[in-house]
Structure 1
Amino acid sequence: MANATPGSAVRVRFCPSPTGNPHVGLVRTALFNWAFARHNKGTLVFRIEDTDAARDSEESYEQLLDSMRWLGLDWDEGPEVGGPHAPYRQSQRMDIYRDVAAKLVDGGYAYPCYCTTEELDARREAARAAGRPSGYDGTCRDLTAEQKQAYEAEGRSHIIRFRMPDEATTFTDLVRGEITVQAENVTDYGIVRANGAPLYTLVNPVDDALMEITHVLRGEDLLSSTPRQIALYKALIELGVAKEIPAFGHLPYVMGEGNKKLSKRDPQASLNLYRERGFLPEGLLNYLSLLGWSFSADQDVFTIDQMIAKFDLADVNSNPARFDLKKAEAINADHIRMLDVQAFAAACEPWLKAPHAPWAPEDFDPAAWAAIAPHAQSRVKVLSEITDNVDFLFLPEPVFDEASWTKAMKEGSDALLRTARAKLEAADWSSPESLKEAVLAAGEEHGLKLGKAQAPVRVAVTGRTVGLPLFESLEILGKDRALARVDAALAKLTA
């Protein structure tokens, strides 16, 4: 099934490990689970897989929660919310895993394996050399009590391995259709370490079973583990631990540059990068939803509510999706335009203060900001761009950008600026159109079109060749400050 049948209780989960900063591939997985739950009026379980003490950290755990809150991806069960299957951090569920592992061993579904790492490596190498599958060869599958005692007497430790069935596993992937995996390609696997710590291969399916998860939507990189989990589910059902096997859907890879899977180490993979640059949560989620899913053939920009209404796993593509930063920025820009101006102005506030703003707090003019905000909203792609676009209003003098100065201040620019200054001084400063006419007239006197004529004026007043609409900017800056900056530029040109 692509979506749950009407009235069924859809339960999905998002279960990240708290290791490092959240990345966009992880967010895409969270988004698809969240949208599927909301579309089907189901439940999203937020679970933390923190059984790896060497890599997990409390700081990363807090970052995960903060990121979900910032994105607006709320959860129905999990940290801070609670629920009937608490606790939702695996580090607090160790007794549960020990109990289930013991039941699997007692029931004959799992067994102790005393093979050393060196023995395993040697047998794998021999199998590869002979052209055979190099998975576990079942050496400890059927040890007698005497053999186990002998290994124990040697001082050998053991892991616990799950006993895979001897027949092929077939399942219907919600994204990829029917998949069959032959038994020789999925051999017995470890579920408990020698020190007694449970492995992901055990804790993930056990938690899904106990939390009654109906659909597992996760990355394609976990597809190879699905036959193992299905076999474990069947054992858990026979033991009375699980009720049913969930439906699995594996989401396509997110690719970065050079046809490589987007790695957590890639700079553009970090969610924090997008927060720091001033992506709107709505804009980022809109773009990430397109990495493997399509809203419609002719529409890429939509609201979160529209996504929820249309989200169907039948529309998820199995082909890898390429991360395109320029498209992400363009979609975010569209969402910025969709805000009302008051919401846009409020969203920009962090970038109008320290440490982002280069001006003194007392030099910030709220009235000037309110006046320029509508013009800025139509120009910026990400909110962090607002700082450079409006700094000319709040700095005592414009920034000096050497590249902009060199590009705009050509031979004859001093004469043009003198003419423009005279005409601007006589213009009506309550009318951007009047200021435009003044610069246009100055340009005509020097044989220049408006684009060429306004460039030196823009750099003199704002410091940059590119920015917000010039004549509205001049009006908001004010006549005295604008003309003083033209004078300063003339002085520099003639020095």
Structure 2
Amino acid sequence: MTVRTRYAPSPTGYLHVGGAWMAFFNWLFARHHQGVFVLRIEDTDRDRSTEEYERSILEDLRWLGIDWDEGPDVGGPYGPYRQTERGALYNAAAQTLLGRDAAYPCYCTREELEADRQQAAAERRPPRYSGRCRNLTPDERRAREAAGRVATLRFRVPQGRPTIVVEDLVLGQVEFDPADLDDFIIQRSDGTPLYNFANVVDDHGMDMSHSLRGSEHLSNTPRQVLIYEALGWTPPRFAHFPLLLGIDRKKLSKRHGDTAVREYAAQGFLPEALVNFFALMGWYPEDGRELFTVEELIHRFRIEAVGKSPAVFDIQKLSWMNGVYMQAAYRQNPDRVVDLVIACLRDQGLLDGEVTPEQRAYVARVVAIMGERLRLPRDILTYGDFFFRPQVAFDPQAVAKHLSGPDTAKVLRHLREALAATRRWDLPTIEAAVRGGAAHLGVEDKAVIHPLRVALTGKTVGPGLFELIEVLGKERVLERLDRAIARAVEPPASTPR
């Protein structure tokens, strides 16, 4: 059997991280089994579906490295791959169900259905379809049509059917009582199929072997199984992945921050970090390892290792992981990371116009010394904005702690003299000048290092001091020391007795 999985987004918005997460696992499962991954567009919501959103979904999937073997843009033997182009297939299946008395036309008005819901609420029972149109005679149907009523199509849930048993690849054996189901609509009056019906027709028509999806779809499973049975088709193997929650253990939503994949891309998250992160939300490698290449994930993935407990979208862990991949990306292709940082600096107005080769080289040197602090391009603003601002923005607490002592001006003046006297501007020379200054003043190294850092950067934390001095350059360092000396607190003049 050839493994065939699919991802079927609705083009009613940008690709959500939850959707991308499930797309990735369907893709990963297919690739692990050397199978086929299909992209299907569920665009039956004509009011909200747009070509722009469809294009953006395809772009974002490709950005993540998720490719497909069949789909609306590449074709395939089981097309069309947009639901709006599959109407004849839905109508044929609907006629089959009608012919087998597994479905029937329902003429109930919205007002009648709303009255039924209100009565159920008043009686404190769950709303169910009353079955008003379940057993209409042909004459009764014709009378309703003559009165101008239009019909939806309802599936006839078999009465007295035994328990529905599904062997789920993640959850194990799951049982559903058909008595809990009421007759449900499968086709609107305009012929548009509803989700459960279209899902069955499409998955069967595209020869899907497996349906990997989120646990929120578990409640759809018994209805889909009944439709499969009524049409004489075999369902795919189901695997329901755990719910995706925010760090507060509530369903992931906008209140947890960005939720669209392209929002993460715009922040400088790398696709390889996101897919690695996706893999660890629900899948638990036996050795507890956390960092994998895509090739390793394809080789090692086992659906048996997917957990049942909800998966947590921990943005702090994603940021850490992105930092690891940023360092790896810089080692392999420095320009890739430099481009991301330059884009961030442009957004903040710290770079404008055409970036010269000299400016690019300067940014590259800054990136090189940021090290693990650079988890995202915007971290350059937190730890290294002083590299790009003409004036140092001083942290008041840093000034109070390190630039307000009685000897600050003396210390900074001596360091300026030592640095100005250097003939070379490299790490060994800079370090020797600073440490030599401390020795000359008879103080510990930290007594000069902390004031010097604040004088040059305005901060108490950041890249290595000697490295940042080298990158800033001699002229800029001396200018900043002059300004810091001018604002330093001078010791009060002694009063003669």
**Displacement, 1:464?**
3.5
8 Å Cα contact 2:4/2:36 also seen in 1: yes
Amino acid at match of 2:43: D
Q: 1:464 aligns with which of 459, 470, 473?
A: 459
Q: 2:294 aligns with which of 298, 304, 313?
A: 304
Structure 1: gaps of 5 or more residues: 1-7
- 2:478 corresponds in structure 1 to 483
- 1:324 corresponds in structure 2 to 314
Alpha-carbon distance change, 444 to 211 in structure 1, aligned in 2, over 3 angstroms: same
8 Å Cα contact 1:417/1:486 also seen in 2: yes
- 2:18 corresponds in structure 1 to 25
Post-superposition Cα deviations, 1:89-135, rounded to whole Å, max 9, x if no partner, equal: 21222232223222322332211111223333333454566566532
CA distance in 1, matches of 2:364, 2:121: 70
- 1:90 corresponds in structure 2 to 83
Alignment of 1:238-387 (within 5 A): 238=232, 242=233, 244-263=234-253, 266-353=256-343, 354-356=346-348, 358-360=350-352, 361-362=354-355, 365-386=359-380
Identify which range, 103-112 or 461-470, moves more after superposition. Answer: 461-470
- 2:411 corresponds in structure 1 to 416
Alignment of 1:225-240 (within 5 A): 225-236=220-231, 238=232
CA distance in 2, matches of 1:433, 1:145: 96
Q: 2:433 aligns with which of 429, 435, 438?
A: 438
8 Å Cα contact 1:341/1:374 also seen in 2: no
SS at match of 1:378: helix
- 1:4 corresponds in structure 2 to none
Alpha-carbon distance change, 366 to 128 in structure 1, aligned in 2, over 3 angstroms: closer
CA distance in 2, matches of 1:176, 1:246: 15
8 Å Cα contact 1:169/1:183 also seen in 2: yes
CA distance in 2, matches of 1:321, 1:345: 35
SS at match of 2:375: coil
- 1:150 corresponds in structure 2 to 143
CA distance in 2, matches of 1:440, 1:460: 16
Are residues 1:78 and 2:71 paired? yes
CA distance in 2, matches of 1:460, 1:315: 53
**Displacement, 1:161?**
0.6
Alpha-carbon distance change, 348 to 401 in structure 1, aligned in 2, over 3 angstroms: farther
**Displacement, 1:185?**
1.2
Alpha-carbon distance change, 137 to 297 in structure 1, aligned in 2, over 3 angstroms: farther
**Displacement, 1:391?**
4.5
8 Å Cα contact 2:324/2:372 also seen in 1: no
Structure 1 vs Structure 2: percent identity of aligned residues?
A: 39
Alpha-carbon distance change, 405 to 305 in structure 1, aligned in 2, over 3 angstroms: farther
Post-superposition Cα deviations, 1:7-38, rounded to whole Å, max 9, x if no partner, equal: x2000000111122222111110111111011
**Displacement, 1:454?**
2.5
Amino acid at match of 2:3: V
Identify which range, 215-224 or 126-135, moves more after superposition. Answer: 126-135
Post-superposition Cα deviations, 1:177-215, rounded to whole Å, max 9, x if no partner, equal: 111111121221111112332211221211111100110
Alpha-carbon distance change, 400 to 85 in structure 1, aligned in 2, over 3 angstroms: farther
Alpha-carbon distance change, 323 to 493 in structure 1, aligned in 2, over 3 angstroms: same
Question: Cα RMSD (Å) of the superposition?
Answer: 2.6
**Displacement, 1:345?**
3.2
CA distance in 2, matches of 1:270, 1:330: 19
Post-superposition Cα deviations, 1:221-260, rounded to whole Å, max 9, x if no partner, equal: 1100001111111223x3xxx5x31001111111114331
SS at match of 2:166: strand
SS at match of 2:60: helix
**Displacement, 1:355?**
3.0
Post-superposition Cα deviations, 1:377-396, rounded to whole Å, max 9, x if no partner, equal: 43311233235555544444
8 Å Cα contact 2:155/2:186 also seen in 1: yes
Q: 2:173 aligns with which of 178, 187, 212?
A: 178
Larger radius of gyration: 2
Identify which range, 198-207 or 352-361, moves more after superposition. Answer: 352-361
Are residues 1:207 and 2:197 paired? no
**Displacement, 1:59?**
2.0
CA distance in 2, matches of 1:113, 1:381: 57
- 1:51 corresponds in structure 2 to 44
- 1:3 corresponds in structure 2 to none
Q: 2:185 aligns with which of 187, 190, 202?
A: 190
Alpha-carbon distance change, 115 to 45 in structure 1, aligned in 2, over 3 angstroms: same
CA distance in 1, matches of 2:286, 2:444: 43
Post-superposition Cα deviations, 1:252-291, rounded to whole Å, max 9, x if no partner, equal: 1111143311125642323233212211111111112111
TM-score (norm 1): 0.90
Post-superposition Cα deviations, 1:419-463, rounded to whole Å, max 9, x if no partner, equal: 221222234644323323433344566676544532332233234
Alpha-carbon distance change, 86 to 159 in structure 1, aligned in 2, over 3 angstroms: same
CA distance in 2, matches of 1:343, 1:102: 58
Alignment of 1:51-70 (within 5 A): 51-70=44-63
Amino acid at match of 2:26: N
Amino acid at match of 1:164: V
CA distance in 1, matches of 2:202, 2:148: 33
Post-superposition Cα deviations, 1:294-314, rounded to whole Å, max 9, x if no partner, equal: 123431111111111111110
8 Å Cα contact 2:405/2:489 also seen in 1: no
- 1:117 corresponds in structure 2 to 110
Amino acid at match of 2:65: G
Structure 2: gaps of 5 or more residues: 491-497
8 Å Cα contact 1:10/1:42 also seen in 2: yes
Post-superposition Cα deviations, 1:138-188, rounded to whole Å, max 9, x if no partner, equal: 222221101112222332222101112231211111110111111121221
Alpha-carbon distance change, 410 to 62 in structure 1, aligned in 2, over 3 angstroms: farther
Post-superposition Cα deviations, 1:341-381, rounded to whole Å, max 9, x if no partner, equal: 25243233033143355123456523333434332343311
8 Å Cα contact 1:348/1:384 also seen in 2: no
